[in-house]
Structure 1
Amino acid sequence: MTDTPSSDFDYDTRAVSAADTLTPADRYQELFVAVQMQRVFADSKTFVDCAPRQHPERILEAYRAQNSEPGFDLRGFVLEHFEVYQRQPTEFVANPDDTLAEHIDRLWPVLTRHPRQHPEFSSLLPLPHDYVVPGGRFTELYYWDSYFTMLGLDESGHCELLRSMADNFAYLIDTYGHVPNGNRSYYLSRSQPPVFALMTDLFEESGVHRANDYLPQLRKEHAFWTDGDDQLRPGESHRRCVCLADGSVLNRYWDERDTPREESYLEDVETARSSSRPAHEVYRDLRAGAESGWDFSSRWLGDPQRLSSIRTTQIIPVDLNSFLYNLERQIARLSHAKGWHDCAEAFRQRAEARLAAIDRYLWSEQHGAYFDYDWCLAKPRDNLTAATVTPLFVKLASAEQAARVAEVVRERLLAPGGLSTTEVGGSGEQWDRPNGWAPLQWMGIRGLQHYGHDALALQIEERWLKIVSLLFESESKLVEKYVLRPCTEHAGGGEYPLQDGFGWTNGVTRKLMQADPSHEAHRCRAGRCRVE
């Protein structure tokens, strides 16, 4: 490819602190391990989000001098030397006269962060512009969450905030070569599902920026995901790329590190201890599972009831490769529009090759659906998940394939509250039954609509809005995930309690309500009505 676009963005570096990419584990070493292993804080994420009260080297020196003294109080030491992040109290109270849409609109300022000052030596990576966080314990920008959050920001008319978010993501790619899982140093070793190409379409539709403006960043993100793919022979893998038996290259999730996740350190250590595999392999697979956004799910497990059997890096996911197909198509389209024909043709060929490999390895003619592929065992996975709708969402499926997927969704994944995440229940993982998630509803609904399966899409939409409305009217809030049946039971599973907020639920729900103005959710008020 002879075309080499350069970035059109000129960031005001005076507004952004110098990035400090040392992670808390790198910086605090044995102090970090002691704090996490002794569970000084109930949530492992608390310590890695703390800001030091003095230079980290002085803190580590003090710890080494004091920790062997009789009566040493580790918790007291931490509270003395670190500022524990306190969620800012707000005066936000649900207004019983607000509709659900109005309630969401009033939440956006609560979830917006204004990065005017940056805590020195903290794990937070600085950003040049305002951004929206998911809520609860998630106090930073998250990659794939943000796309679904942006759907609602667009619907609520927050064009300036959309512009800020757009430039933040461009800044992250320009600075780090990829979009980290979130803007924390301990997230830098991994990304999340590559949805920046989807964002650029949204930016263009909203009049925020032309999608063409982001072509350099799209190219750079693609290079991150495909690093080393041209050097592989059949059966070999490198980072996020796998070369299959016929020479086709598809992608997997990965993480540059093979240590416990810093924000879930003790949890990962305990998981590895219950496995017979080398600990570093388990850690890498846990981290790769976090990059997938589905952390965690039976989808990644050898034994659906044991997290320690996780094998994420051995699995080629249908959704990841669908997103990368979309990225390649987007680069080809935008390059063609700019007259960069060599680049356009190269990425058109890449997309066609990926599509052929997806049809060969991820499509099941027998079952009429898309499945992940276990490249180490050289066979498809047999667990149906909601990821099967992603090829429809990015429009890579044929009409016949889409029709068969629609039938499978109707028969096996349709629940009283919307689209089921998997068919597996009782695993204890949050990305399994009975939980449902806003991004999967959105991709399922829009994917089915792309192929004319409007009745099924409407069923999912109506059922999801009903579930969200039920909890809103009983508890005056929106949450991260939902039990997909009419009840007031809270969704569970996973490593932390259910979080309120919640960015992507707000975004998807706000967008769906606009698309379905007759739904009873529009008449719902906090604590005042019941949706039948």
Structure 2
Amino acid sequence: MQRDPRPLRFLLPLLLALLAGACTPQLQRAPAPEAPSSTRAVPPVPPDEAWPQLFAAVQEAQLFDDQKLFADAIPRAAPETIRSEYLAQHAQPDFDLRRFVDKHFALPQPAHTAQVTPQPNLRAHIDALWPLLTRSDDADAPHGSLLPLPHEYVVPGGRFREIYYWDSYFTMLGLVDSGRRDLARSMLDNFAWLIDTYGHIPNGNRSYYLSRSQPPFFSHMVELVADGDDDVLRRYLPQLKREHAFWMAGSETLAPGDATRRAVRLRDGSLLNCYWDDRDTPRPEAFLHDSATAAAAPQRSPHEVWRELRAGAESGWDYSSRWLDDGRRLETIRTTAIVPVDLNSLLHHLETTIARICALDAQPNCTREFSDRAARRKLAIETHLWHPRGYYTDHDWRRGQRRDALTAATLYPLFTGIASPERAASTAKAVRRELLRPGGLTTTTVETGQQWDAPNVWAPLQWIAVSGLRDYGHDALAQEIATNFLDNVQAVFAREHKLVEKYDADGPRGGGGGEYPLQDGFGWSNGVVRRMLVLYPRDVP
């Protein structure tokens, strides 16, 4: 990763505001109540709060090319000891910041996958990668940012040394097809444990991820692992309900045109959801990036910008023109003002899943409640997230209008079974016309330099498209998307013998953009490719 060439003089006022704990509240939002949980543990302190002055100094000095590295560092002593020693020593003439860090922290290593034995084809290569990406945590680093989990899990790879929420669903697809349903079940049990322990599934198992979640695929994970077993479905009903309560916290008292955290009441009374983060400070893993973005918007409170950036990270699309007010510049980000079609489609699936399991469990009141919730959400999606041009899109709840952009998220109502056949056909036509490229389905139609825009192709979005289109009988388009993507992946694999995080729609090559270099591994690419090779087998060596 290249160091940020911009001068760092903007950091001083931002860091002073950060350390002082200043916060400018969002306009037009109701006060955020405490999220409900009866068993939630006291969250561990993230590193930017455990040793704030040291953390800011290390990131400002750019000791490491990757800002995430120090956020993941393992302290060799208790936080208060490190903090007091730093405050006592840092002003001394001979103080050496790097020497202090090396003395007090162990730096993590990337999740390497290059040591895999050469395999004859993609399927065998992916099967050989799973053991290299599997982790089993213990509690031997009590002061680090990693949250130990009770069961084995698969990490994406590279700089991503921890489990990630929505990544894991796509990884689990491949694990099942690789004969590792046991490992997929372990990952599901980890997510259930996180819900029971912290009241929700965080972005990943790091202390600095606890203030946000990611796209809610837990109900899809439960269905995948259960594979038709009603007893398995019943086992996870309490966690499914807690997941829903997390996303809907505070919604009961919302007035029309208002929002609190992740819940939004539209002006006509419809209840939908948006992304949010409970903190409004720079992300520890992208400290300088976020500080620079806030400095580029002097007319906005830095805390407002940081909240929007964090909410964008919860979306999984970090970052995309979807969240930008002008569609181009990151400093115009306003994620919390946008009701996304993918998030609300996933929450509809969560509600229908809860209703179905409650029916299996002879709970008529629960069945009725969540069936009604799902029906109301479907009506709101069809009313407010359908564009007259013939595709699903996002909605700006602050301005009371649909957003025009066509993105790969348009296929989520097909993936979750919300769309009518007519609207599915119209969406498929728009996707073929504007998003299909030689290397797969591109994320958006615009190129901004952000990694969740054109020309990047992401494995999870290929699966959402292929699965949804197949369910509605658009098999030819589904196969064309899958074939284009697999050809892209195969060509990169043949040349470089690896799978990567994202691909170029005009490939064959890895994708670009974003805050960090292209990562090898890669969990969700492995999972989606492994599943697609079952649906569309090929004899390519």
Does structure 1 residue 98 correspond to structure 2 residue 115? Answer: no
1:168 is matched with 190
How many residue pairs get matched? 503
Equivalent residue for 2:257? 235
Task: Give the counterpart of 1:283 among 283, 290, 306.
Answer: 306
Q: TM-score, normalised by structure 1?
A: 0.92
Q: Cα distance, 1:308 vs. partner?
A: 0.4
Other-structure match for 1:42: 65
Separation in 1 of the partners of 2:66 and 2:111?
Answer: 18
Note if contact 1:251-1:320 (Cα within 8 Å) is conserved in structure 2.
yes
Cα distance in 2 between the residues matched to 1:216 and 1:176 = 14
1:125-164 residue pairs with structure 2 within 5 A?
A: 125-164=147-186
Taking the aligned partners of 1:231 and 1:303, their CA distance within structure 2 comes to 32
Which residue number in structure 2 is paired with residue 493 of structure 1?
513
Task: Describe the superposition over 1:188-214 as per-residue Cα deviations: whole angstroms up to 9, x where unpaired.
Answer: 000000000000110111869712210
CA RMSD of aligned residues (A): 1.7
For the 8 Å contact 2:113–2:157, the answer to whether it is kept is no
What one-letter code is carried by the residue in structure 1 that aligns with 2:46? Answer: T
What is the identity percentage for the equivalent residue pairs of Structure 1 and Structure 2? 54
Unpaired stretches in structure 2, ≥5 consecutive residues: 1-36
Whether contact under 8 Å (2:112, 2:158) holds in the other structure is no
Kindly report structure 1 stretches of 4+ aligned residues shifted beyond 4 Å.
88-91, 206-209
Residues 503, 359 of structure 1: CA spacing in aligned structure 2 closer, same or farther, 3 A cutoff?
Answer: same
Secondary structure, counterpart of 1:224 in structure 2 = helix
Report if the CA contact (8 A) 1:235-1:244 is conserved: yes
Structure 2 partner of 1:504 = 524
- Residue 245 of structure 2 is aligned to residue 245 of structure 1: no
- Normalised by the size of structure 2, how large is the TM-score? 0.91
**SS of aligned partner of 1:523:** coil
Partner of 1:395: 417
**Residue 389 and residue 88 in structure 1: after superposition, are their counterparts in 2 closer, same or farther (change >3 A)?**
closer
SS at match of 1:352: helix
Q: Please give the per-residue CA displacement for 1:310-334, whole angstroms capped at 9, x wherever unaligned.
A: 0100000000000000000000010
What is the deviation of 1:87? Answer: 3.5
Look up the match of 2:373: 350
CA displacement, residues 17-63 of structure 1 (integer Å, 9 cap, x when unaligned): x9761100110011111111221211110011011111221111111
What is the SS of the residue equivalent to 2:227? Answer: helix
Any idea what SS the aligned residue of 2:414 has? helix
Q: Is the 8 A contact 2:111 2:161 kept in 1?
A: no
Q: C-alpha displacement at 1:79, in angstroms?
A: 0.9
Of residues 306, 311, 319, the one that matches 2:329 is 306
How much does 1:116 deviate? 3.3
Alignment counterpart, residue 105 of structure 2, candidates 44, 63, 82: 82
Q: Which amino acid aligns with 2:233?
A: A
Aligned equivalents of 1:374, 1:41: Cα separation in 2 = 38
1:118 deviates by 3.3
State how far apart, in whole Å, the 2-side matches of 1:47 and 1:501 are: 21
1:318 aligned partner, one-letter code: V
Q: C-alpha separation between the residues in 2 aligned to 1:332 and 1:206?
A: 16
Q: Which runs of 5+ in 1 are unaligned?
A: 1-5, 12-17, 525-532
Q: Distance in 1 between matches of 2:421 and 2:350?
A: 21
1:461 aligns with 2:482: yes
Contact 1:20 1:185 in 2 (8 A): yes
- 1:486 shift after superposition: 3.5
Q: What SS does structure 1 have at the residue aligned with 2:169?
A: helix
1:90 Cα deviation from its structure 2 partner = 6.9
CA contact (8 A) 2:325 2:332 kept: yes
With over 3 angstroms needed to count, the CA separation of the structure-2 counterparts of 1:207 and 1:339, relative to structure 1, is: closer
Q: Match for residue 527 of structure 1?
A: none
What is the distance in 1 between the residues matched to 2:265 and 2:90?
50
1:73-131 superposed Cα distances (whole Å, 9 cap, x missing partner): 11111111111112376782341x52110000000000000113431200001110110
Contact persistence 2:501–2:520 (CA under 8 A): yes
1:328 and 2:351 aligned: yes
**One-letter amino acid of the counterpart of residue 54, structure 1:** A
Distance 2:256 2:89 in 1: 55
Q: Distance in 1 between matches of 2:196 and 2:111?
A: 31
Q: What do the CA deviations read for 1:430-474 (whole angstroms, capped 9, x no partner)? A: 000110000000000010011100000010011010000000000
Tell me if the contact between 2:111 and 2:158 (Cα under 8 Å) persists in the aligned partners.
Answer: no
What's the counterpart of residue 58 of structure 1? 81
Query: Which stretch shifts more, 322-331 or 86-95?
Result: 86-95
Q: Is the 8 A contact 2:273 2:343 kept in 1?
A: yes
Partner of 1:318: 341
State how far apart, in whole Å, the 2-side matches of 1:38 and 1:90 are. 30
